[in-house]
Amino acid sequence: VQLQASGGGLVQPGGSLRLSCAATRYDLRDVAIAWFRQAPGKEREGVACISSMDGIARYRDSVKGRLTISRDNAGGPVWLQMNSLNPEDTAVYYCAARRFARPSFCTIDSGDYRNWGQGTQVTVSS
């Protein structure tokens, strides 16, 4: 599956953005999707994931309550709604997909994913 991440941009602290992870001619309900980010000089870290079945979501502790992952019930994009953004959220954001053996399962461990989209830059600055 070829993934395309979009929706990044420049936003002021406290602002919001919604990222989208889409695929062409592929039903994303068949896979778990995770969002990762990588800031300059730092390792890539997972921020959220959503399972293929039931839409069970998991989040990195530092983003709980501010980021929400959701999926289109018709098999379209997976979104990452980001609220109350702060400069520490500045990074390139990537989405990744994998069909896990357990359809109600997902992880935010980058080593568990095999299909990656290109990144989208998010910059939080005044």
Digit-by-digit pLDDT tens for the chain (126 residues) are 899 999 999 999 999 999 999 998 899 999 999 999 999 999 999 999 999 978 899 999 999 999 999 999 888 999 999 999 999 999 999 999 999 998 899 999 999 999 999 999 999 999
How distant, in Å, are the alpha carbons of 25, 88, 92, 99 from that of 8? 23, 15, 8, 26
User: Number of C-alpha atoms within 13 angstroms, CB side, residue 50?
Assistant: 22
Asked if 120 contacts 8 with a C-beta cutoff of 8 angstroms, the reply is yes
pLDDT at 73: 87
Asked if 65 contacts 82 with a C-beta cutoff of 8 angstroms, the reply is no
Neighbours of 48 (CB within 10 A): 26
